[in-house]
Amino acid sequence: MSGTVRAGAAERLRAAVQARVEAEIAEAVAIADLAAEHEWAADARIDVVGKRAVRIGGDGTALVDEFLPLEVAALQGVSVSAATWLIRDIVNLAGRFPLVWFQVKQGLLPVFRARQLVQEIDTFDLTLDQAHHLDALLAPKLPGLAWGRLLKLARGLIVEIAAPQVEAKAAQARAARFVRKLPTDDPLVAYLSCRVDTRDAIYFDAQVDRIADLLAAHGDTDPKDILRAKAVGILATPARAQLMLQEAAGVIGTIRATDPRLVPAATVYVHVAEETLLTGRGTCRVEGVGPLSATLLSVLLGHDRITLAPVIRPYAQISVDSYEIPDRIRRQILLRDTVEVFPWSSRSPRTAQLDHTRPWRPGVKNQTRANNLGPLSTRPHRGKTHGNWQLEQPRPGIFWWTSPAGYRYRVGPHGTTPMFRHERFQHGDQIQWDTDHKHQPPPPDSDDPAP
């Protein structure tokens, strides 16, 4: 009986989500149509005393009546400024990113996320041609991607399409670096706020962690966050910090400040395509940082010593009998699954647990292998173990989830496909979702990796 109640509530929730999506789409389309009704011809005469035409959107969008935001603000009950920003986002979507706009109208990207996306893109001041190029590359990859992955993909594509604007923005960001001490509600505690080069932040964070570990090794029992806070204070007294690091490195006598034994061990994972290595141009993806132009990589890494390691093929056949996961298999999974494998997740796999898709059993050979492992954070892991979530992995890196209410989700390299949405049809402007396929297996996918 309780299972029936849960399923009924889940279906009502799904219906409510559907209704909200359709309402947001209808609202966005109405604003786009209203803007079209208030368009001015590009060669229209402008009355400097009466009504005037303004370009609310970016390059390539139409001129509209300056009083359009007043109409939208009154209808929505928001400020004129908020209405202006709303119109700007919608006309940019419709005029500069028509393929993404089509996906929005199909319900494949929430309107509020689409607005966030164009706002992020606007910071790079793309031309209309660049915007259309980005639109053509981004739209086909959009369905199924969680927001964090979509944003990283868009930034990576912008690096390739608009390298000069990206480098100009990076220069502006570096020109805005600072370090400030800010008060809190207690005079004995203060905030440190800083905007620094990413490479300096990586090394500083690693050094803070190293000194915190040394404090713990010397008997300090405070929690790690407090130890890290103490470590910042020690770094503020360089002589003491150097002595601690010298002792930990086993150094006796005088040591130069450039001795590599005093440098923290910080590992940076940079994914570079072969073409980028050959040409020196293109996009590098730095874990924990994001997409970066290859020409800016030296700014991130500086001129420090760099160790190159071979990349393990993600789908090579490697297996062991033990429950413990060897480093070589762990690295293989982390290269294959770039995010946690729960539906819509954008979490890094490096902070997750590696879960056996089929639970490990003593005495069974070759259970610890690529196509029986996937990264999961604590809550989804517990949901699979104790919460009646079912999981299958028919191919390496392809995960089929079934929720306790019976809904199926397919998670793979290109994102999440909710199976109750897989078959859609459209009547007029209203999206109708097929509700009869929640237990159906996913369709074949030619992009799936070979078993």
Q: What is the mean pLDDT of residues 308-323?
A: 59
Structure tokens at 286: 């730095």
Q: How confident is the model at residue 275 (pLDDT cuts 50, 70, 90)?
A: low
**Higher-confidence position of 443 and 77:** 77
The answer to whether residue 131 sits within a structural domain is: yes
Q: How confident is the model at residue 121 (pLDDT cuts 50, 70, 90)?
A: very high
Say whether both 139 and 22 belong to one domain: yes
Say whether both 193 and 112 belong to one domain: no
The answer to whether residue 156 sits within a structural domain is: no
Say whether both 43 and 132 belong to one domain: yes
Q: How confident is the model at residue 448 (pLDDT cuts 50, 70, 90)?
A: very low
Say whether both 22 and 130 belong to one domain: yes
The answer to whether residue 278 sits within a structural domain is: no
Say whether both 130 and 200 belong to one domain: no
Above 70 in pLDDT, residue 424? no
The answer to whether residue 31 sits within a structural domain is: yes
Say whether both 31 and 87 belong to one domain: yes
CB atoms within 10 A of CB 95: 21
Q: Is 307 helix (H, G, I), strand (E, B) or coil?
A: coil
| Single residue among 230, 262, 294 that ends a domain in this structure | 262
| Single residue among 262, 289, 304 that ends a domain in this structure | 262
Structure tokens at 414: 């290109």
Say whether both 204 and 95 belong to one domain: no
pLDDT tens figures, 333-360: 888 888 899 999 988 888 888 988 888 8
| Single residue among 213, 242, 262 that ends a domain in this structure | 262
pLDDT tens figures, 202-246: 889 989 999 999 999 989 999 999 999 999 988 988 878 888 888
Above 50 in pLDDT, residue 443? no
The answer to whether residue 77 sits within a structural domain is: yes
**For residue 224, what pLDDT is reported?**
94
pLDDT tens figures, 245-260: 888 877 766 666 556 6
Number of domains within the chain: 3
Say whether both 190 and 138 belong to one domain: no
Structure tokens at 213: 């570990």
State pTM to two decimals: 0.70
Say whether both 105 and 191 belong to one domain: no
The answer to whether residue 324 sits within a structural domain is: no
Domain membership of residue 386 as a residue range: 336-433
Say whether both 134 and 232 belong to one domain: no
Above 70 in pLDDT, residue 273? no
**For residue 440, what pLDDT is reported?**
42
Structure tokens at 256: 């130069």
Say whether both 223 and 135 belong to one domain: no
**8 A C-beta contact, residue 407 and residue 419:** yes
Q: Is 362 helix (H, G, I), strand (E, B) or coil?
A: coil
Nearest to 422 by CA among 150, 149, 143, 147: 143
Above 80 in pLDDT, residue 423? no
**8 A C-beta contact, residue 339 and residue 348:** yes
CA quadruple 332, 334, 335, 336: dihedral, nearest 10: 80
Poorest-pLDDT segment among 32-36, 282-286, 336-340:
282-286
**For residue 437, what pLDDT is reported?**
38
